[in-house]
Amino acid sequence: MESKQNTLGTIIRLERKKAGLTQAQLGERIGLKESRVSKIENGAPITPEVASYILGKIGSELQIKAIVKKPIDRNSIDFLIGVVHNFSKIKGISLGRAFKYLKTFKGLEYLREYQEIEQTLSYEDITSDLLRVCMNNGGAL
């Protein structure tokens, strides 16, 4: 599965659901309680080796890929600033809190990666995308 934005837990959840397993059934396969599987899927830290083991028990394989980051140009900076500003207005939070939230929960990374696509959307749609990404990375507003 190729996705830079997914955490190991999110990948495990997606693969578990594709396999038609419940958290309890996966827990039985890997020797953990359902509550521990839930914690893993919701962001509890695990090593790539543990994730690989769990995915193997589902019938999937973990692949890790290094990606060279793109340098930030002036247009990208202006876009990011505009998005953070509008995100703070739409969500009714301070600019500082909006920036910290988006940085902490990988929203800014997502914007950098998918800037060309996101620039074609409304600020409401961009905000919706960012909330989904951030929530998938453990951020709740």
List, for residues 68-115, the tens digit of each pLDDT value: 776 778 888 999 999 999 999 999 999 999 999 999 999 999 998 899
Q: What is the pLDDT of residue 70?
A: 67
Does residue 23 register a pLDDT over 90? yes
To the nearest whole number, what is the mean pLDDT of the chain?
A: 90
pTM of the model: 0.50
Contact at 8 Å (CB) between 109 and 119?
no
Question: If we measure between CA atoms, which residue out of 7, 19, 78 comes closest to residue 47?
Answer: 7
* Percent share of the chain, pLDDT over 70: 94
Does residue 3 register a pLDDT over 50? no
Q: What is the pLDDT of residue 1?
A: 37
**Number of CB atoms found within 10 A of residue 21's CB:** 18
Does residue 2 register a pLDDT over 70? no
Chain centroid offset of residue 99 CA = 16
**Number of CB atoms found within 10 A of residue 126's CB:** 23
Q: Looking at per-residue confidence, does 72 or 5 come out higher?
A: 72
Does residue 11 register a pLDDT over 50? yes
